[in-house]
Amino acid sequence: MIDIKIIRENPELVRENIKKKAQNDKLHLVDKVIELDKEWRKTRQEADNLRAERNKVSEQINQAKKQKKPIEAFLKKAKEIPEKIAELEAVERNLELKIREIMYAIPNIIHKTVPVGKDSASNVEVKRIGEPKIPNYPIFNHAELAERLSGADFDAARATSGNGFYFIRGKLAVLHSAMLAFARDYMIEQGFEYVIPPFMIRRKVVEGVMSFTDMNNMMYKIEGEDLYMIGTSEHSMIGRFIDSNLDKKALPIALTSYSPCFRKEIGSHGLDEKGFFRVHQFEKQEMIVICEPEDSYKWYDKMLQYTIDVFKALNIPVRQLECCSGDLADLKAKSCDVEAWSPKQKKYFEVGSLTNMEEAQARRLNIKIKSPNGNYFAHTLNNTVLASPRALIALMENNQQADGSIKVPQALWKYTGFKEIKVKTTDKDKKEEKEVKKSKEKKKK
């Protein structure tokens, strides 16, 4: 949520920002806020005038009593004024709610470095890290490979839960957990405090950390409860500081958190019928930073590098993709995606996202920094360290051998206890091998 002073003083800036975010249907909201704000300020002034008059009448009553003069007219007026003030205060509160609701829908002002574009097609590749290779042998589809490794059961997951779910088994499950443990320990080494947060949050926190559109498309509501299942631990981690006045000496607050994540995945892309790519639940190691406004873009660069370092250690080539204005959710001032190379698809796919919200979340959640010259809003940032099983797909494909086995990156050996996951040969495979062998022998003869 932006500061209403920006709309009062520079409404054209807000309109231009809405256009850059390709949300022209929201342009009328600026005029609506200006209209309601004028009405609110007029109502507040009337209430303030009545409060001043009430004080004046109280003094007149005291003077009349001292002078033993009639006070009935003053008493009548003194009784009427509070009723009028109460009426104006009710109007004021109603206007505040209307203004706030509209302000929630007006997108945050984007950073000056954000490229302008209509949608994700206009996102800009900034750099590549690691060489994207295509092996000279076939790469199995990750779902097929997971089954060949006896590492997944998608059919059973569909039977128990429907599309968008999975069972990860055996060594593949160990590898999945090892990646998250490695990401956790790496962030702790960088000085981040490790936290396991609540996996459900109240609506007031949801409204503070994301837009209404994102909330409806992503969040699962617990029936009969004021609780939502988190789509990412950023939500509860930032929400932890709601209505806080932070000591400057305590900043920056740098936290890394583990959680399962739950998402509806509503949209045109649909769900994976079989596989790990687009699912209703996954696990993630997240990082968040709450800091002084002047430090937030230094942290933005640091946080990006942490994610890149994790993927480098896992032998996964990645690229940084700068999100354009039209691809930024309402609260985002600047954001970039980290995408991993897929040898199977011969393209990159998203494995993480870094965002600077500047003061948008802090303003909604009332997270301020204490100062002798007046408290002010903090800046908040969030970034994916590693989300699996998406990262698991990238690891499987980029570390897959010719026979379908998976080489475990050295960084994970101490977490897995093994260096390789081998394909288990089935009776069908043995039969095919024998036939190939016989065919070769015949050709030699």
Q: What is the pLDDT of residues 149-193, one digit of tens each?
A: 999 999 999 999 988 899 999 999 999 999 999 999 999 999 999
**SS3 of 241, please?**
coil
Whether residue 72 is predicted with pLDDT greater than 80 in this model: the reply is: no
Q: Could you tell me the two tokens for 6?
A: 């920006």
Residue the block writes with tokens 């897929």: 342
Cis amide prior to 252 (ω within 30 degrees): yes
- Measured CA to CA, the distance from residue 50 to residue 56 in angstroms comes to 10
Whether residue 428 is predicted with pLDDT greater than 60 in this model: the reply is: no
Between 148 and 268, where is the model more confident? 148
In order of 150, 172, 296, 400, the CA distances from 113 in angstroms are 47, 41, 14, 38
Mean pLDDT of the 315-337 span: 96
Q: Could you tell me the two tokens for 263?
A: 């998402």
Nearest-5° angle of CA 334, CA 390, CA 415? 110
Q: State the number of CA atoms in the 13 A half-sphere of 294 facing the CB.
A: 1
In order of 54, 66, 86, 141, 233, the CA distances from 59 in angstroms are 9, 11, 21, 84, 56
Mean pLDDT of the 327-336 span: 95
State the span(s) of the chain assigned CATH 1.10.287.40.
4-105
Q: Is the Cα dihedral 210, 212, 214, 218 positive or negative?
A: positive
Find the distance separating the first CA and the last CA of the chain, reported in whole Å: 79
Whether residue 80 is predicted with pLDDT greater than 90 in this model: the reply is: no
- What's the pLDDT band for 37 if we cut at 50, 70, 90? very high
Q: Could you tell me the two tokens for 315?
A: 């032998």
Kindly report which listed range (203-217, 297-311, 348-362) carries the lowest average pLDDT score: 203-217
Q: What percent of the chain has pLDDT over 90?
A: 77
Whether residue 310 is predicted with pLDDT greater than 50 in this model: the reply is: yes
Whether residue 101 is predicted with pLDDT greater than 50 in this model: the reply is: yes
**Confidence at residue 268, expressed as pLDDT on a 0 to 100 scale:** 43
State the span(s) of the chain assigned CATH 3.30.930.10.
120-421
Mean pLDDT score across all residues of the chain: 91
- Measured CA to CA, the distance from residue 278 to residue 272 in angstroms comes to 5
**Confidence at residue 220, expressed as pLDDT on a 0 to 100 scale:** 92
**Confidence at residue 212, expressed as pLDDT on a 0 to 100 scale:** 73
Count of residues making up the chain: 445
In order of 301, 366, 379, the CA distances from 360 in angstroms are 19, 10, 8
Q: What is the pTM of this model?
A: 0.88
**Confidence at residue 294, expressed as pLDDT on a 0 to 100 scale:** 97
Whether residue 430 is predicted with pLDDT greater than 90 in this model: the reply is: no
Longest CA span, the chain: 133
Q: Could you tell me the two tokens for 258?
A: 């583990």
CATH for 4-105? Answer: 1.10.287.40
Query: Would you identify the CATH topology of the domain 120-421?
Result: BirA Bifunctional Protein; domain 2 (3.30.930)
How far from chain centre, in Å, is Cα 90? 35
On the 0-12 / 13-18 / 19+ scale of CB atoms within 10 A, 167 is: middle
Q: Could you tell me the two tokens for 154?
A: 């998608």
In the beta sheet, which residues pair with residue 333?
A: none
Mean pLDDT of the 272-283 span: 83
- Measured CA to CA, the distance from residue 135 to residue 407 in angstroms comes to 14
Kindly report which listed range (134-148, 337-351, 413-427) carries the lowest average pLDDT score: 413-427
Pairing of strands 253-262, 193-195: parallel
**Confidence at residue 211, expressed as pLDDT on a 0 to 100 scale:** 80
**Confidence at residue 225, expressed as pLDDT on a 0 to 100 scale:** 95
DSSP 410: G
Q: Could you tell me the two tokens for 115?
A: 């490229």
**Confidence at residue 70, expressed as pLDDT on a 0 to 100 scale:** 80
